[in-house]
Structure 1
C-alpha cells in the first residue's frame, strides 16, 4: 500500500492542506481564504471558530481530491505563520480572536523595551533576536495592560501551528522552532527563559506555556471526533510541525551548511543554517532548526512578490478583467512579465522601494514609493521597477547574512515561491545577484516542509537529509548574464541611496499631524 504524507499550512489569510507521496509529488491540494479582522487601526485578527472550521474543511477537500484511502496517510505535519497569539481557555474554549503576525498594536511597548539598555544585556544574548510588535511577549504585555481579564480565562498560549495540532489531537504542546522565534526562548538551553519573561514583565504567563515538543515528535493522533469531521483515519499520528520559515527552508533542501535559500511571496525570506551563532544586533532572527545542533539564521521582511499583487489590484484591474474576457491562456501575472520583457535594464532609472506591507530599511515610518517617474514613464517601466525593487530588497537581506557568513554566496542559490512562476523575474534575480539559481519544484513550501516532519516521525525517512534527497528536486538552473552585472550594480547602488535619502522624508511624514475637518 502506497504511503502518503499530509502537510497543513496556515498563513495570515489562507489555510492549505496538501498530500504528498514519498518522492515529493503533490497528489492533491486544497486552499481556503479567510477574513482578516481589523477592528482597530494596526490590529489584525481572525475568528477562531472560522479558523478551526476551515482547517477541517481543507482536510476534507484534499482527501476527496486525492481519492486515496485515508489509512494511506501515515503522518500529518503542520506549519503556519510564526508569532501572533492564539489563546485557548479551559476545555478548548475560545476566549478572544486570534492575533495574526502582522498586528502592530504593541508597537509603543516594543519601542520602550528596545530603548532600555538592559535589552542588550538580558534579552538579546539569550534569544539572539530583536523583539517586534506581533510577537507573543509584546501582545501578552498589551493584553495585561488593556484586557487584564484574559489571563485568568487562558489555559494555553499557542502559536497557530500548535493550535491546529491541539484541535486535531486534543494534546497541548509548543513546537521548538516556533518557540525559538518568539523572543522568549533561550537558544542555548532550548527552554523558555525566566529572566527574559521578567524583563518583559510577563513572568506570570510562563504558567500558561504548554510543554515544548520536537518537530518530528509524535504529539498525539487524530481523535475519533476529528476523524468524523475531517475524514482522516482515527489514530493517524501528528508530528510537532514547524515554524513556517523553517518549513520553507526544508522544502528547498536546506540541510547543509553554506547554502543560501530564498523564498519569495508576501515575505522576502532569506536564510541559511549553521551550527554556530553569535549575537548580531540587526539580524532579524536566529531560530531552532529541526536538525540537531543546527540553527536557522534568517533575514526577512514583507517586501517580496506581494508588492506586485498590490500594484495589480490597485492600478491594473481593467487590464486583469480584459484579459479574463479575451484570453484564457494568459494571466495578469504573465502579462506583467511580458511587459517587463520589453524594458532593457539600462533604459529606465525608475526606482521602487517595495515597502507596501512593511520595510527592511530599518527606518521608522518608511513606506513604499516610486522615484524617477516622468510623463514618458510607461506602464512596463513601472512594473519593471517593482520586479527590480523586490530583487533589491532580497539582496539587501542577503548582504546582511553574507557579513556573518560569506561562504553562503559560494554556491548556487536555492529559490522557491511565487516569483518562480515568472521566467523573466527569475532571470532578473540571477542577474541582480550574479549567481546561478537552482529552482526547487515546490508549489507549497510550507505544506511540503511540514509533511517532511511527518515523514521522519512516521519512519518513512530516517532523517531530514534522506527526506530532502527523496522529496526535494531541482527542476532547472538559471545562469546569470555577466553583461548585465555592471548595470544592475549601479541600479542597486541607486536604490540604496534613494532609500537612505528618503529617511528624512519618512521621518517628516511620520511626525505630521493633519488637521481634521
Structure 2
C-alpha cells in the first residue's frame, strides 16, 4: 500500500482591511498565499460596513489564489480554518442569504447607545460581569439596539446573527454557527459558556432576539465540509473539512506561540491588541475577558484602534505616499538621538480607551522639529498605548518574558526597540507574517490529527532573538509616560466640554 502523500492546511484570515489565505505544509510553513482587499464603505459618517457578497468574493478570490500559488493538489488540503475580526454584526436568513450589509467593528453609529449603556451602572454591571467586557459602539448588542430604532425591518427579516469569520464559513459549508471566542463579544455568559437572556435584557433588547443567536462550538469542532458551489469558486475539493474557526486575536496568539497561560502577545495592526492568556476570570472595563478556543481558556485583552490608523494618518500628513518615501522617513527617524525629545502624539484618530470623547493631539512641537521627529513621536504614541493597555492588565495578571510582538508596524526595527524601551521588557518578533492564518490552520490541523494539539502546533512558531531595552532609555521613557499621563488628564475636561458643544450643535 503506498504511503500517504503530504497533507496541507488552509488558514484564512478575514481582517478589517484585507483577506489573507495561506496554504501551509505539515510544519505550518506557507507554500501558497493569496490576498484581497476587504471592502469597507465609509461614505456615511460613523458607518463602516460592506456587502456580504463582496466579502465572500474577496475571500474566495484569496483562497483560489493561495491554492493556485501553492501548486499542491487541493485534495491534499486536510482541513480549513478561518479567523476574522470580532464584534460588528452580520445578519443572515435561515438559508444563509445576507440580510443587509455586514457592519464591521470599526463602525460607531451606535455611539449613543453605547454611551447610554455605559452610564447605566446596574445594566453595565450585568454586561461586564457576565460577558466579560464593556462593549464598544461596534459591539453586536449596541448595533442591534441601533437597528431596532432605525431599521427594525432588517432585524425582522433576519434569522441569525453571525460574526465575520462565520459568514465565510457559511458560504463554504452552508452551516450557521459560531464559536466561543467570537460569541464572548456579545451575549455569551462566560461562566457557563451559554447564551444568556439576562445579558440580552441588560443591553435593553427584547428577549425575542434570542432567536438570532446561532449554535455554539469550540473553535476546533469540524462543523461542515466544502460544498460544490464553494469548491468551484475557491479551487478547494468538495468535502474538505472546515472547523468552526476563531476570533482573530485568539488566532494571532497561536500564530505568535502565545496561547498558553502566562504568555503576553501584543500586536500593532489595525488595532493595538494586548492579550495575556489565562484561566482566570477577572473582569475590568479596561480589558475584555474572552473565552478562547475552548471555554476553559481565556485571553484577557486590552485593545484600541490606535496603531496603524494613527500611523497611516501621520504618514499621509507628512507626504509619505509611497514605500520609498515611507522607508526614507523611517530611516531618518531611526537616525535621531534615541533620547532626543520629540513631539508627544496621542494617537486617538479613530478610537481611544479613555472614552469616545477623546481625540488625537500633537503637543510639544518646536520650530526645529522635522517630519522625522513627528514620525518618531507618532511611533512613541503607539508604543505608549501598549504601555497603557499592559499597565491595566498588569494589575491582575502576571506574564513571562519575553513579550511577543507582531503586526505590520513590528516590521520596523525602530518600532520594536521603542516597544522594548517603553515596556522595559525584552521583546521578540514573530517571523511569520500571517500569524492569524497560521493560528487558524493550526486549529484546523489539530482537529483532523495533523498535530497532536494546538500547543504542539505552536512549537513551530519562529521568533526573532530578543530585543532588549537600553539602559539609557529608562529615564527618557519614564518622562514620556509621565507626559502622556499628564496630558491625557489635562485634556479630559476639554474633551468632554468639546463633545458637549458638538452634541448641542447636532440637535
- Name the structure 1 match of 2:127: 123
- Name the structure 2 match of 1:498: 487
Contact 1:345 1:488 in 2 (8 A): no
Query: 2:72 & 2:124 partners in 1: Cα distance?
Result: 53
Q: How does 1:29-108 map to 2 (within 5 A)?
A: 29-108=33-112
- With 490-499 and 187-196 compared, the bigger mean Cα shift is at 490-499
**Aligned residue among 365, 374, 392 for 1:400:** 392
Give how far 1:20 is off.
1.4
Give how far 1:196 is off.
1.0
Query: 2:260 & 2:185 partners in 1: Cα distance?
Result: 21
Alignment CA distance shift 1:412-1:506 (3 Å): same
Query: 1:476 & 1:37 partners in 2: Cα distance?
Result: 40
- Name the structure 2 match of 1:472: 461
Contact 1:74 1:237 in 2 (8 A): yes
Give how far 1:204 is off.
1.1
Query: 2:178 & 2:296 partners in 1: Cα distance?
Result: 19
Q: Does 1:140 align with 2:144?
A: yes
**Aligned residue among 420, 423, 433 for 1:430:** 420
What's the secondary structure of 1:475's corresponding residue?
A: coil
**Aligned residue among 169, 175, 180 for 1:176:** 180
Alignment CA distance shift 1:256-1:90 (3 Å): closer
**Aligned residue among 141, 150, 153 for 2:154:** 150
- Name the structure 2 match of 1:262: 266
Query: 2:332 & 2:97 partners in 1: Cα distance?
Result: 51
- With 251-260 and 79-88 compared, the bigger mean Cα shift is at 251-260
What's the secondary structure of 2:451's corresponding residue?
A: coil
What's the secondary structure of 1:512's corresponding residue?
A: helix
Q: How does 1:277-288 map to 2 (within 5 A)?
A: 277-280=281-284, 282-288=285-291
Alignment CA distance shift 1:156-1:515 (3 Å): closer
- Name the structure 2 match of 1:251: 255
Q: Gapped runs of 5+ residues in structure 1? A: 322-329
Query: 2:294 & 2:179 partners in 1: Cα distance?
Result: 14
Query: 1:18 & 1:6 partners in 2: Cα distance?
Result: 6
Q: How many correspondences in the alignment?
A: 500
Give how far 1:419 is off.
2.0
Contact 2:218 2:295 in 1 (8 A): no
Q: Does 1:417 align with 2:421?
A: no
Query: 1:138 & 1:478 partners in 2: Cα distance?
Result: 41
**Aligned residue among 360, 366, 370 for 1:374:** 366
Contact 1:216 1:456 in 2 (8 A): yes
- Name the structure 1 match of 2:430: 440
- Name the structure 1 match of 2:234: 230
Contact 1:161 1:242 in 2 (8 A): yes
- Name the structure 1 match of 2:190: 187
Contact 2:124 2:134 in 1 (8 A): no
Q: Does 1:354 align with 2:354?
A: no
- Name the structure 2 match of 1:327: none
Alignment CA distance shift 1:192-1:291 (3 Å): closer
Give how far 1:113 is off.
1.7
**Aligned residue among 299, 304, 307 for 1:301:** 304
**Aligned residue among 13, 21, 42 for 1:9:** 13
- Name the structure 1 match of 2:328: 335
Query: 1:343 & 1:202 partners in 2: Cα distance?
Result: 58
1:463-498: per-residue Cα shift (whole Å, max 9, x none)?
A: 1111111x3122322112112111111111112211
- Name the structure 2 match of 1:160: 164
Q: Gapped runs of 5+ residues in structure 2? A: none
Contact 1:137 1:202 in 2 (8 A): no
Alignment CA distance shift 1:290-1:241 (3 Å): same
Give how far 1:206 is off.
0.9
TM-score under structure 2 normalisation? 0.95
1:29-48: per-residue Cα shift (whole Å, max 9, x none)?
A: 11111332134221111012
- Name the structure 1 match of 2:475: 486
- With 505-514 and 261-270 compared, the bigger mean Cα shift is at 505-514
Query: 2:125 & 2:38 partners in 1: Cα distance?
Result: 41
Query: 2:308 & 2:135 partners in 1: Cα distance?
Result: 25
Give how far 1:456 is off.
0.9
Give how far 1:301 is off.
0.4
Contact 2:7 2:77 in 1 (8 A): yes
What's the secondary structure of 2:10's corresponding residue?
A: strand
- Name the structure 2 match of 1:324: none
Give how far 1:349 is off.
4.2
Query: 1:48 & 1:266 partners in 2: Cα distance?
Result: 21
1:84-136: per-residue Cα shift (whole Å, max 9, x none)?
A: 01111242222211101111111111222222232244222211210221111
1:377-400: per-residue Cα shift (whole Å, max 9, x none)?
A: 111111110111111111110000
What's the secondary structure of 1:345's corresponding residue?
A: coil
- With 424-433 and 184-193 compared, the bigger mean Cα shift is at 424-433
Alignment CA distance shift 1:372-1:454 (3 Å): same
Query: 1:423 & 1:349 partners in 2: Cα distance?
Result: 18
Contact 1:5 1:74 in 2 (8 A): yes
What's the secondary structure of 1:207's corresponding residue?
A: helix
Cα RMSD (Å) of the superposition?
1.8
Give how far 1:173 is off.
0.8
Query: 1:190 & 1:292 partners in 2: Cα distance?
Result: 6
